[in-house]
Amino acid sequence: MALYTSSYLTNLYNTRSSFISDRQRLFTESVKETKTFDIFLSHSFLDRKEVYGIYIELTNQGYDVYVDWIVDPQLDRTNVTKESAELVRKRLKSSKSLLLAMSTNAQMSTWIPWELGFVDGHTNRCALFPISKESGVVKSFKRTEYLLLYPYIKKAIINSFTEELFITESAYQYVNLKDWSARGANPAFNSKDIDVL
């Protein structure tokens, strides 16, 4: 299994320039108060290019993903109000899970610990989405402090052709992201490691 790299995600951002504007238009026309999401993507706005890439990757795999500046572009990060905080709280409640885009910038965010704690207490469906600055195949991710409580995302090739995302605790302890998000399955011991990308 391999981690996502910043260069891969940024490349998705660079090659899909109209993707967000199209999705924004659709959301603007159709999102209602009761909209539910498979994934709330918690992140630092400083990582917006990588977050855009994650959003494209997950959306292309069929997940409904909430990113505040895509779904609710009217939110103003420089002017947080009780109303805007309440909207974010509603989006957290209406999301089945939370993925935290892990980067150096994420560690400086004041919103991320609040979002992570909120969803952890509400659904206990939280995982980390590491973004590696290294190029090439990166297999390991070092968690520290309270982040050790959460599993993390890795991408693997299944049946030599199909890419799939897994929630993993270790090389031999993992579960498919779809089963984790939709059915509440937790990483379990498997007798073999999955092929590395």
- pLDDT at residue 34, as a whole number: 61
- pLDDT at residue 19, as a whole number: 59
CA distance 43 to 63: 17
Q: Which residues of the chain have pLDDT under 70?
A: 1, 17-34, 135-140, 160, 193-197
CA distance 37 to 101: 17
- pLDDT at residue 196, as a whole number: 44
- Scan for tokens 């704690």, then name that residue: 117
- pLDDT at residue 41, as a whole number: 97
pLDDT for 75-109, tens place per residue?
888 888 899 899 999 999 999 999 999 988 888 88
CA distance 52 to 194: 27
Which domains occur in the chain, in start order?
A: 4-140 (3.40.50.10140)
CA distance 147 to 188: 19
Q: Are 147 and 128 in contact (CB under 8 A)?
A: yes
- pLDDT at residue 93, as a whole number: 94
- pLDDT at residue 137, as a whole number: 62
For the entire predicted model, the pTM comes to 0.86
